């Protein structure tokens, strides 16, 4: 990634993004095209997008661009970034009571709360991430309750949540550890109580039923999706003991669990590998305190070397602006032992695989959505800028960020 095509930077940056916005048929040409697919890195490459879908990817010299099609140019082209876990759209940039919908703490277990009912596609943070090349996000209810709600996958565009929606009810977000303990004497007050309440909910959902007519409780309906294998349980767990509890739960109920956070993941590589789980790793630059005391810049590299599937996330912070930028998180991981191509994979194709949408996004391949990010240099270099973004074949940003 460090050996970028310098000759493109001066000439193409000035000519960047000459097309009109919202074009349906568009081609993107890059000095380097990082496909994150079988073609690897293409020098002087082209991505052709028609009706929102990629129809051709290859070297400019041998890839035909339909006559009259608008062409965008940039020194470096990558797939649109995929944020594997965030509270974007529920966590508003104003940090005021009326734009903070990532957590309802009126009850400890609320798997029936749907992200689609709280998402604001017009929040400024959505625009900000879009302008930095983030095109797909897995977002929803955040930490702070034992089971805080459901997640969904959206594109960072659209006038309504329905226009942005890729998938509703992607996962159910659960939380283990001190973040989900009730400090005022309510339940759960201990880690043992957390696990008992989760077991109780899963057992209730796994009971025999003659049909949907008998399943009137929304909580039970939601957990039935987990028991039936239709919906993964996303468990935020950072301490080693909490990660072990999550793995125990997965084994007891034969359910799919994805570890979120995983600050102590590097301390239990064998257990994670044996369990076959994926990890949506804490933001690289998360503050190392409390349950994140063992978080490290190098954890991503350790998981990669151990062969444990992982992706990076922007996550959730209790302070402004509450949503990070996965590009910067991946950049710090790349500076601390993770190979640049693996760092890019952690916010593109690997993230897409873990959240289940790799058939649509995460790489520049024929048949996938036309989501492209453009840069005037190495995306991981501090001096580089995002200079254009295309989502579903539409130019959604020409801002220099």
Q: Supply the pLDDT for residue 5.
A: 47
pLDDT tens column, 343-375: 999 999 999 999 999 999 999 999 999 999 999
The secondary structure element, H or E, covering residue 42 is: strand 41-50
DSSP annotation of 360? T
CA 35 – CA 39 distance, rounded (Å): 6
Alpha-carbon Rg for the chain, nearest whole angstrom, is 21
CA 218 – CA 156 distance, rounded (Å): 29
- Residue 274 has which token pair? 């044996």
Phi, psi of 147 (to 5 degrees): -135, 110
Taking the CA atoms of 208, 212, 217 and 218 in sequence, report the sign of the dihedral they define.
positive
CA 137 – CA 152 distance, rounded (Å): 8
As a whole number of Å, the end-to-end CA separation of the chain is 19
Q: Supply the pLDDT for residue 12.
A: 47
pLDDT tens column, 260-278: 999 999 999 999 999 999 9
Candidates 217, 279, 223, 281; CA nearest to 255 is 223
Q: 81-86 and 134-140 as β-strands: parallel, antiparallel, unpaired?
A: parallel
Q: Supply the pLDDT for residue 208.
A: 56
- Which domains are seen in the chain, by residue range? 6-80+363-397 (2.30.40.10), 81-355 (3.20.20.140)
CA 347 – CA 260 distance, rounded (Å): 15
The residue ranges of the chain whose pLDDT is under 70 are 1-23, 208-216
- Residue 54 has which token pair? 């990629």
Mean pLDDT (the chain) is 92
* Angle 44-155-341 from CA coordinates, rounded to 5°: 40
Do 29 and 388 form a contact (C-beta atoms < 8 A)? Answer: no
* Helices within 3-123 (DSSP H only): 6-15
DSSP annotation of 390? E
SS3 79: strand
SS3 261: strand
Which residues are within 8 A (CB) of 29 and not within 5 positions of it... i.e. 6 or more apart?
A: 44, 45, 46, 47, 60, 71, 72, 73, 74, 77
Contacts of 287-291 spanning 24+ positions with Cβ under 8 A: 290/178, 291/177, 291/178, 291/179, 291/238, 291/239, 291/242, 291/261, 291/263
- Residue 397 has which token pair? 């940003």
The secondary structure element, H or E, covering residue 49 is: strand 41-50
């Amino acid at each position: 990634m460090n050996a970028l095509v310098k000759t493109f930077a001066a000439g193409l940056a000035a000519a960047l993004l000459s097309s009109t916005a919202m074009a349906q048929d568009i081609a993107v040409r890059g000095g380097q095209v990082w496909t994150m697919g079988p073609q690897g890195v293409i020098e002087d490459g082209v991505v052709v997008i028609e009706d929102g879908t990629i129809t051709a990817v290859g070297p400019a010299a041998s890839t035909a661009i339909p006559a009259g099609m608008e062409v965008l140019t940039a020194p470096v082209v990558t797939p649109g970034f995929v944020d594997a876990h965030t509270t974007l759209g529920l966590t508003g940039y104003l940090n005021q009571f009326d734009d903070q919908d990532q957590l309802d703490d009126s009850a400890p277990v609320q798997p029936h709360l749907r992200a689609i009912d709280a998402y604001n596609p017009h929040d400024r943070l959505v625009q900000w991430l879009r302008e930095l090349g983030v095109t797909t996000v897995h977002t929803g209810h955040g930490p702070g309750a034992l089971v805080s709600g459901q997640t969904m996958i959206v594109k960072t565009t659209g006038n309504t949540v329905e226009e942005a929606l890729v998938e509703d009810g992607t996962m159910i977000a659960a939380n283990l550890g001190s973040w989900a303990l009730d400090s005022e004497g309510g339940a759960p007050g201990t880690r043992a109580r957390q696990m008992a309440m989760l077991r109780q909910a899963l057992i209730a959902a796994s009971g025999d039923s003659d049909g949907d007519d008998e399943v009137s409780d929304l909580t039970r309906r939601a957990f039935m999706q987990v028991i039936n294998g239709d919906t993964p349980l996303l468990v935020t767990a950072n301490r080693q003991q909490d990660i072990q509890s999550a793995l125990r739960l997965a084994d007891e109920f034969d359910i799919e669990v994805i570890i979120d956070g995983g600050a102590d993941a590097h301390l239990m590589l064998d257990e994670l590998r044996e369990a076959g789980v994926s990890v949506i790793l804490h933001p690289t630059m998360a503050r190392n305190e409390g349950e994140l005391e063992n978080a490290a810049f190098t954890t991503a590299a350790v998981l990669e070397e151990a062969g444990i599937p992982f992706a990076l996330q922007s996550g959730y912070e209790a302070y402004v602006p509450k949503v990070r930028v996965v590009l910067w998180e991946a950049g710090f991981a790349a500076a601390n032992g993770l190979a640049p191509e693996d760092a890019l994979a952690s916010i593109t194709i690997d993230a897409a695989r873990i959240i289940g949408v790799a058939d649509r996004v995460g790489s520049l391949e024929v048949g996938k959505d036309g989501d492209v990010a453009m840069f005037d240099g190495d995306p991981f270099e501090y001096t580089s800028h995002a200079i254009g973004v295309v989502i579903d074949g539409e130019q959604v940003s020409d801002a220099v960020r």
